């Protein structure tokens, strides 16, 4: 929704709006002291262009059942792959860095923090002229709980600095 509103306001593609927002959101990392990583750079460089490319090759859904299927499949896939790359410890994407920074500062559950981020983003998108529909509400309310569900299943456990350096195991949470 934020991306849609930004794209409409600036007259640019969804992908370019995604990349632009990503760069601006990184500024919010400064007070959160969130460190960037390879995942951060790749997210900023690739996600927007991949969104534009996917939109050109993915067939448009015909009928309400196909649209609902796309929404549900897309939501679950987005949450799973979001948790997968966060769990790999390669660095957060821009919005995920806001989430992980707030998780560290507030010590609130992933579901609560991510839902708050998604609601703020949806509201900002609406203010910029984006469309609010059932899908927007579903994503805003379900993305946090889904990421919170998947993250412990796929996260790599990085040994703490105080652990025995003779051990070299990285086990999943």
Over residues 48-93, the pLDDT tens digits come to 788 778 888 988 889 999 999 999 999 999 899 989 988 888 888 8
The pLDDT mean for the chain works out to 84
pLDDT score, position 171: 42
Contact 1, 122 (CB under 8 A): yes
pLDDT score, position 158: 64
Q: Using CA atoms, how far apart are residues 108 and 129, in angstroms rounded to an integer?
A: 31
Strand partners, 172: 156
Q: Which two tokens stand for residue 64?
A: 């309400």
Helices 64-87 and 38-57 pack at an angle, to 10 degrees, of 160
- Cβ contacts of 54 within 8 Å, gap of 6 or more: none
Q: Give exposure, 79-93, as e/b (b: 16+ Cβ within 10 Å).
A: bbebbebbbeeebbb
Among 37, 42, 52, 8, smallest CA distance to 22 is for 42
SS3 33: coil
Could you give the C-alpha distances from 155 to 83, 87, 170, in angstroms and in order? 7, 4, 10
Instruction: For the full predicted model, state whether its pTM sits above 0.85.
Output: no
Contact 92, 34 (CB under 8 A): yes
Q: Which two tokens stand for residue 38?
A: 């390879």
């Amino acid at each position: 929704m934020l991306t849609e509103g930004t794209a409409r306001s600036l007259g640019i593609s969804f992908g370019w709006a995604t990349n632009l927002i990503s760069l601006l959101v990184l500024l919010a990392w400064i007070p959160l002291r969130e460190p960037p990583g390879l995942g951060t750079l790749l997210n900023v460089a690739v996600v927007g262009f991949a969104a534009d490319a996917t939109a050109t090759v993915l067939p448009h859904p015909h009928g309400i059942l196909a649209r609902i299927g796309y929404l549900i499949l897309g939501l679950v896939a987005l949450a799973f792959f979001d948790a997968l790359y966060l769990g790999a410890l390669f660095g957060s994407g821009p919005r995920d860095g806001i989430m992980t920074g707030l998780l560290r500062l507030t010590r609130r559950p992933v579901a609560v923090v991510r839902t708050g981020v998604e609601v703020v983003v949806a509201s900002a998108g609406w203010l910029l002229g984006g469309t609010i529909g059932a899908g927007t509400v579903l994503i805003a309310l379900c993305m946090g709980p889904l990421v919170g569900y998947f993250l412990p299943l796929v996260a790599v456990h990085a040994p703490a600095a105080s652990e025995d350096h003779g051990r070299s195991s990285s086990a999943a949470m």
